[in-house]
């Protein structure tokens, strides 16, 4: 290995909606020839130890996640609270963290951003010890995250179809929510804790959220009439969801959500099963990201 190598591209060959693209060939064709780099293939979905080992053993300045939101979350979790900067080649359907940081969806332009190497510090969070960087939540969006993870088809159309199918029979759940020591009890359709403003695909659940202000924006969607669902959808895409009368927004740093039994939760769209409670904590300015 070249001791001068500072770039590592972590490629998940089984992730994202652009699986037919040979990402190794793409990088070889478009990354500057004068800059050495390593390729790390994420071979086994349930085993990241080889990636951890290679990152630990080498003096990388930049580690680039090549894949969808799950790949980006995993690589971000490996480099958070280090001097390593995260880069993203967005290959997924949502690409929440990439979009939130202004990273182009065009891969040639995204690679150009990586080459220029301009970095900023952003916040991160944890939900029951799982790091997240865009959103975490519980309720309807978490259920869809679980269903989407089980699906063999990817992309926004699949996500939309799954959402419509599950929406018909979904019932709001009662929650006890504590934000920085202040407790409320409410039924909710979904609860999203937002570090970034969007879930992905430019669908904004918390338009006022900022990645570097040390605060979460908690969006609580209360039970709402079925006929207002299209209005809710329009507001999500137009960055006006905070004006939806059934949505409550709260700002805080430490959030505890309690409920009965076991419920699906998610972190950056990755499924998680939670029993009775989730605890969410803010870690300000903990991730270097190229944007």
pLDDT of residue 17: 57
Residue 65 in any domain: the answer is yes
User: 16 vs 49, which has greater pLDDT?
Assistant: 49
Give CA 97 to chain center in angstroms: 6
Residues 31 and 117 in one domain: yes
Domain closes at, from 94, 127, 160: 127
pLDDT in tens, 85-97: 999 999 998 999 9
Residues 261 and 193 in one domain: yes
Q: Does residue 163 carry a pLDDT above 80?
A: no
pLDDT of residue 2: 45
Residues 153 and 113 in one domain: no
Q: How many CB atoms lie within 10 A of CB 149?
A: 13
Number of domains in the chain: 2
Residues 134 and 250 in one domain: yes
pLDDT of residue 152: 60
pLDDT of residue 1: 42
Domain containing residue 183: CATH number: 2.60.200.40
Residues 156 and 123 in one domain: no
Residues 182 and 272 in one domain: yes
Residues 63 and 178 in one domain: no
Residues 114 and 145 in one domain: no
Domain that residue 243 falls in: 130-282
Q: Are 250 and 179 in contact (CB under 8 A)?
A: yes
Q: Does residue 155 carry a pLDDT above 90?
A: no
Over pLDDT 90: what percentage of the chain?
A: 78
User: 3 vs 33, which has greater pLDDT?
Assistant: 33
Residues 164 and 123 in one domain: no
Domain containing residue 119: CATH number: 3.40.50.10330
pLDDT in tens, 177-199: 999 999 999 999 999 999 999 99
Domain closes at, from 85, 108, 127: 127
The span from the first CA to the last CA of the chain, in angstroms, equals 28
Domain closes at, from 98, 127, 156: 127
Residues 117 and 140 in one domain: no
pLDDT in tens, 202-229: 999 999 999 999 999 999 999 999 899 8
Residue 261 in any domain: the answer is yes
Residue 226 in any domain: the answer is yes
Q: Does residue 3 carry a pLDDT above 70?
A: no
pLDDT in tens, 39-65: 999 888 778 888 989 998 898 999 999
Residues 156 and 44 in one domain: no
- Positive or negative, the Cα torsion across 192, 195, 201, 206? positive
Q: Is the pTM for the entire model greater than 0.85?
A: yes
DSSP for 123-157, written as a single string: EEEEETTEEESSEEEEEHHHHHHHHHHH-S--SHH
Least confident of 13-27, 35-49, 54-68, 152-166: 152-166
Q: How far apart are CA 22 and CA 27, in angstroms?
A: 9
Residue 288 in any domain: the answer is no
Residue 291 in any domain: the answer is no
Residue 215 in any domain: the answer is yes
Residues 145 and 103 in one domain: no
Residue 176 in any domain: the answer is yes
Average pLDDT over residues 22-35: 95
């Amino acid at each position: 290995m070249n001791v001068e190598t500072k770039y590592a591209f972590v490629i998940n060959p089984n992730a994202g909606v652009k699986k037919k693209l040979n990402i190794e060939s793409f990088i070889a064709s478009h990354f500057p020839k004068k800059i050495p780099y390593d390729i790390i293939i994420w071979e086994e979905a349930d085993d990241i130890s080889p990636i951890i080992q290679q990152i630990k053993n080498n003096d990388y300045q930049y580690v680039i996640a090549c894949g969808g939101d799950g790949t980006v979350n995993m690589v971000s979790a490996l480099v958070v609270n280090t001097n390593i900067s995260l880069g993203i080649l967005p290959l997924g359907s949502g690409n929440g963290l990439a979009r939130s940081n202004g990273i182009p969806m065009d891969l040639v332009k995204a690679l150009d951003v990586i080459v220029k190497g301009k970095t900023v510090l952003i916040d991160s969070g944890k939900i029951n010890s799982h790091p997240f960087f865009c959103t975490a939540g519980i309720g309807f969006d978490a259920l869809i995250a679980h269903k989407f993870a089980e699906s063999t088809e990817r992309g926004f159309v699949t996500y939309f179809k799954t959402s419509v199918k599950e929406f018909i029979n979904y019932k709001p759940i009662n929650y006890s929510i504590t934000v920085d020591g202040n407790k409320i009890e409410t039924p909710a359709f979904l609860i999203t804790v937002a570090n970034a403003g969007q879930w992905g695909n430019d669908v904004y659940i918390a338009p006022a959220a900022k990645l570097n202000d040390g605060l979460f924006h908690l969006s609580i969607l209360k039970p709402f009439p079925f006929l207002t669902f299209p209005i809710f959808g329009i507001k999500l895409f137009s960055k006006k969801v905070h004006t939806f009368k059934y949505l409550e927004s709260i700002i805080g740093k430490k959030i505890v959500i309690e409920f009965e039994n076991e419920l699906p939760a998610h972190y950056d769209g990755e499924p998680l099963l939670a029993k009775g409670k989730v605890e969410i904590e803010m870690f300000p300015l903990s991730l270097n990201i190229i944007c």
